[in-house]
């Protein structure tokens, strides 16, 4: 049983909390020199340190510390002058040391915020902490039909990811989102992703798991204490962040209405159905037996170093956006429509790459938004870059492509066929403007449509449309329609 989202939020107040994990893009792992490149053969990027062999000693990766401090600064956090790593003890097959080196009560960055826009309103998301830890390996369950452990005959483990630096960004409980907790959650993760991308600290690919989200939700009666939260894990796309909050609001409202209580638990989100199922009941922090990591020295970032990192931060996406909106003289309405469609930054980046604003806007709000929608993803998650879109716009502008051909080129890029120019080449999509080649098609069209041809000869020039259409069809859209029209009229001896 569920209560529809809108109705649930008329009856209950939501509180949300987001824990976001970001895999840093450092060249080497957090505590050893192993390579971090994605997709290598299993267990080839390992060494005694990240395999947790006895006697191996970790050393902190300075680049990872710098990235974490830069993230903290971009989120307006205080940076610790002295902090330590901690051991989080638990057993899991993908964690070779049987503890995770993490940070517990001494995180590197604390107490910040990130402002996000939702329907033209700014919502300030308070940040509790930003800390550094290491990623686990990956288990592969073999023999079952689903790839899950249930029904599998055996499991394999790959430690390549074990020890890759992972930053966790935890919000404070976010209240006051009223009717829009799901929209706010999605806007926050989107903005956070853009900030991280701007910092260049990670490739922030949700589908590859370099950005992952746990979504906490609770409901309470207006004015009452906060309710018990559930924590939905494995939320791996922006759309799913929204859906995960939505489905929890609907589920919890039904339980609360029925007088039941919410169990504090982790839930698993299923991308296919958009629903979550109950996982384990939540461990207490004491279950992890945290203690300061004895093999690592404390981290005490020098104030001057932190100041220099701060001075070198890039412009925030929000201020860049405001600046470009002004430069392009976009109307508020237009900018808002683009924000809601999740394409504003993409449009601006496409303009940056040389496309006129109107063209950039049409692509991202039109064909590309549709493509994203039919894939069930966000425009920003499409495998095409603003630079590539700008190139397609350029090819149309210089007459190499018609609008129809341009869409085919874009579809080719989306299908992984390479750069726009490669797709034009491999699919043979360039406009045919060679008049010799067109003349044959023109003559054939006239022969096949003698009625229309006679009308045109008799002065009924509008009838030429049908013949232009026939030529375009014969050339699979690759002819320049205005050239075709001119050739047809010439052939028929009509002067305009």
**Residue 47 touches which of ligand ADP, Mg ion, Zn ion, none (Cβ within 5-8 Å per kind):** Zn ion
Query: Closest separation between CB of residue 126 and ligand ADP, Å?
Result: 8
CB-closest chain residue to ligand ADP: 17
Closest CA to 217 of 378, 7, 22, 8: 8
Beta bridge partners of 216: 17, 231
Residue in the block written with tokens 């799901």: 182
Residue 416, exposed/middle/buried by CB under 10 A (0-12, 13-18, 19+)? exposed
Instruction: Pick the closer one to Zn ion by CB: 18 or 50.
Output: 50
Q: Which of 22, 30, 132, 170 binds ligand ADP (CB under 6 A)?
A: 170
Percent helix, strand, coil in the chain, to 5, is 40, 20, 40
Does 176 engage in binding with ligand ADP (CB under 6 A)? Answer: no
**Residue 218 touches which of Zn ion, ligand ADP, Mg ion, none (Cβ within 5-8 Å per kind):** ligand ADP
Q: Which of 2, 7, 38, 47 binds Zn ion (CB under 5 A)?
A: 47
Instruction: Pick the closer one to Mg ion by CB: 19 or 443.
Output: 19
Is 84:296 a contact under the CB 8 Å cutoff? yes
Task: Report how many residues bind Mg ion under the rule CB under 5 A.
Answer: 1
Does 34 engage in binding with Zn ion (CB under 5 A)? Answer: yes
Which residues, other chains included, contact 405 with Cβ-Cβ below 8 Å and sequence gap of 6+? Answer: 429, 430, 431, 477, 478
Does 32 engage in binding with Zn ion (CB under 5 A)? Answer: yes
Does 226 engage in binding with ligand ADP (CB under 6 A)? Answer: yes
Instruction: Pick the closer one to Zn ion by CB: 32 or 488.
Output: 32
**Residue 50 touches which of Zn ion, Mg ion, ligand ADP, none (Cβ within 5-8 Å per kind):** Zn ion
Query: Closest separation between CB of residue 199 and ligand ADP, Å?
Result: 21
Stretch that binds ligand ADP, among 103-111, 157-165, 224-232, 355-363 (CB under 6 A): 224-232
Binding mask 4-33 for Mg ion (x = CB under 5 A): ---------------x--------------
Does 172 engage in binding with ligand ADP (CB under 6 A)? Answer: yes
Alpha-carbon distance of 342 to 335, in angstroms, equals 10
* Residues 8-27 contacting ligand ADP, CB under 6 A: 15-19
Alpha-carbon distance of 429 to 442, in angstroms, equals 19
Which residues, other chains included, contact 228 with Cβ-Cβ below 8 Å and sequence gap of 6+? Answer: 218, 261, 262, 263, 264
Alpha-carbon distance of 477 to 470, in angstroms, equals 10
Query: Closest separation between CB of residue 277 and Mg ion, Å?
Result: 18
Stretch that binds Zn ion, among 29-37, 98-106, 177-185, 194-202 (CB under 5 A): 29-37
Closest CA to 161 of 208, 231, 105: 208
Q: Which of 23, 183, 231, 293 binds ligand ADP (CB under 6 A)?
A: 231
DSSP readout, 64-113?
HHHHHHHHHHHTTPEEPSSB--EEEE---TT-TTSEEEE-SSS-SEEEEE
Q: What is the binding site for Mg ion (CB under 5 A)?
A: 19
């Amino acid at each position: 049983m569920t209560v529809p989202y809108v109705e649930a939020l008329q009856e209950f107040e939501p509180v949300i909390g987001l824990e976001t994990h970001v895999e840093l893009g450092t060249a080497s792992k957090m505590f050893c020199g192993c390579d971090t490149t994605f997709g290598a053969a299993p267990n080839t990027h390992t060494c005694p340190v990240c395999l947790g062999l006895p006697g191996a000693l970790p050393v902190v990766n300075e680049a990872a510390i710098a990235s974490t401090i830069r993230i903290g600064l971009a989120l307006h956090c205080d940076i610790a002058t002295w902090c330590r790593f901690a051991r989080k003890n638990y057993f899991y097959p993908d964690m070779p040391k049987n503890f995770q080196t993490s940070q517990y009560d001494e995180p590197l960055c604390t107490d910040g915020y990130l402002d996000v826009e939702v329907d033209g309103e700014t919502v300030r998301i308070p940040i509790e902490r930003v800390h550094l830890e290491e990623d686990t390996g990956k288990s592969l369950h073999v023999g079952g039909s689903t790839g899950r452990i249930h029904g599998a005959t055996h499991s394999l483990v790959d430690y390549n990811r074990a020890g890759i630096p992972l930053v966790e960004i935890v919000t404070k409980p976010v209240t006051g989102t009223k009717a829009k907790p799901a929209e706010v959650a999605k806007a926050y993760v989107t903005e956070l992703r853009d900030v991280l991308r701007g910092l260049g600290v990670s490739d922030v690919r949700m589908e590859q798991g370099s950005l992952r989200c746990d979504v906490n939700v609770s409901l309470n009666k207006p004015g009452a204490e906060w309710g018990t939260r559930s924590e939905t894990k494995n939320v791996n796309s922006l759309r799913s962040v929204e859906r995960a909050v939505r489905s929890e609001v609907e589920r919890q409202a039904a339980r609360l209405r029925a007088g039941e209580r919410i169990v504090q638990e982790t839930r698993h989100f299923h991308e296919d159905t958009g629903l979550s199922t109950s996982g384990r009941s939540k461990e207490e922090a004491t279950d992890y037996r945290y203690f300061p990591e004895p093999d690592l020295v404390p981290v005490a970032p020098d104030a001057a170093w932190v100041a220099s990192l701060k001075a070198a931060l890039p412009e925030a996406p929000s201020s860049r956006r405001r600046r470009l909106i002004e430069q392009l003289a976009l109307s508020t309405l237009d900018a808002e429509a683009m924000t809601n469609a999740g394409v504003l930054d993409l449009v601006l980046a496409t303009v940056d790459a040389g496309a006129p604003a109107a063209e950039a806007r049409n692509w991202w709000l039109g064909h590309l938004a549709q493509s994203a929608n039919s894939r069930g993803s966000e425009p920003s998650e499409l495998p095409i870059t603003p630079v590539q879109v700008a190139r397609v716009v350029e090819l149309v502008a210089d007459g190499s492509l018609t609008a129809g051909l341009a869409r085919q080129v874009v579809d080719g890029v989306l299908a992984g066929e390479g750069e726009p120019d490669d797709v034009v080449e491999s699919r043979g999509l360039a406009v045919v403007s060679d008049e010799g080649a067109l003349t044959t098609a023109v003559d054939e069209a006239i022969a096949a449509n003698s009625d229309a041809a006679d009308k045109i000869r008799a002065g009924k020039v509008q009838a030429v449309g049908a013949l232009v259409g026939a030529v375009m069809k014969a050339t699979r859209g690759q002819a320049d329609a205005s050239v075709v029209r001119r050739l047809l009229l010439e052939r028929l001896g009509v002067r305009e």
